[in-house]
């Protein structure tokens, strides 16, 4: 048996993984990373490692992919296999840095009412952009995390780490969504190419939120791969 450590994305909590946990539990206990407290990717990774099992299979989604790679760099002997879902190795774009500046300059007293429906809809496949149940599920995660976490995660510096890809030594699977409007297939391909021996798989008919939009297809990809590499 091998623990599975799941790392969520921006303004997502452990419920992001609700639909995939039963399929991953065959490998061993499933544990969740807490990204609520820190202001850098490296600090998030250090905090996760403080309470993580001695060795584990690691799955990171979106922002959690940056953290998962930092975990794999900080504790290479503890990560048995790495799955990177809907993420990138690129640093923040100028537009994103500008948006972060606006959030940083906003008065902390401004009430946080959760992510907007429009923002959530952009992260989904076009067919899901009017799916109220999906949109509310994503918004509810952000509302539970609250304004302080929103500010911390919005201001988080995500330095590009493409040049550090060679430091990742464990078997690695890169999973991209064909209709992801937030992370391009080009980003997934360059990441898979840079990490030694990595495999790239594309999930069709899903937007960015693969664990919620296409959980079974995600499991169909990662369960056989993990089964083949868990003891590698």
Domains of the chain: 3-92+158-229 (3.40.50.1820), 94-154 (no CATH)
The answer to whether residues 117 and 135 touch, using CB atoms and an 8 Å cutoff, is yes
pLDDT for position 67? 97
> Beta strand 172-177 with 79-85: parallel, antiparallel or unpaired?
parallel
Instruction: Compute the distance between CA of residue 49 and CA of residue 54 in angstroms, rounded to an integer.
Output: 9
CA 199 to chain CA centroid, Å, is 17
Mean per-residue pLDDT of the chain: 90
The answer to whether residues 134 and 140 touch, using CB atoms and an 8 Å cutoff, is no
The answer to whether residues 183 and 87 touch, using CB atoms and an 8 Å cutoff, is yes
95 pLDDT tier (thresholds 50, 70, 90):
low
pLDDT, one tens digit per residue, over 3-46 is 999 999 999 999 999 999 999 999 999 999 999 999 999 999 99
Mean pLDDT in residue range 70-82: 97
pLDDT for position 61? 97
The answer to which of 75-84, 109-118, 156-165, 173-182 has the lowest mean pLDDT is 109-118
């Amino acid at each position: 048996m091998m623990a599975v450590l799941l790392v969520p994305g921006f303004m997502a909590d452990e419920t992001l993984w609700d639909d995939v946990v039963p399929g991953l539990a065959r490998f061993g206990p499933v544990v969740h990373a807490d990204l609520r407290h820190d202001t850098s990717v490296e600090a998030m990774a250090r905090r996760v490692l403080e309470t993580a099992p001695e060795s584990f299979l690691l799955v990171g989604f979106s922002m959690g992919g940056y953290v998962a790679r930092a975990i794999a760099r900080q504790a290479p002997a503890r990560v048995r296999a790495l799955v990177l879902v809907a993420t990138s190795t690129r640093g923040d774009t100028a537009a994103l840095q500008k948006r972060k500046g606006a959030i940083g300059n906003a008065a902390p007293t401004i009430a946080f009412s959760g992510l907007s429906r429009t923002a959530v809809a952009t992260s989904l496949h076009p067919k899901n952009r009017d799916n109220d149940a999906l949109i509310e599920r994503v918004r509810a995660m952000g509302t539970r995390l609250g304004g302080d976490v929103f500010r911390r995660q919005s201001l988080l510096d995500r330095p590009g780490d493409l040049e550090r890809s060679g430091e990742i030594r464990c078997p690695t699977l890169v999973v991209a969504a064909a209709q992801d409007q937030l992370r391009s297939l080009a980003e997934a391909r360059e990441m898979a190419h840079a990490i030694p021996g990595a495999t790239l798989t594309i999930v069709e008919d899903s937007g960015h939120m693969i664990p919620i939009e296409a959980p079974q297809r995600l499991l169909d990809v990662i369960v056989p791969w993990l089964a083949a590499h868990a003891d590698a």
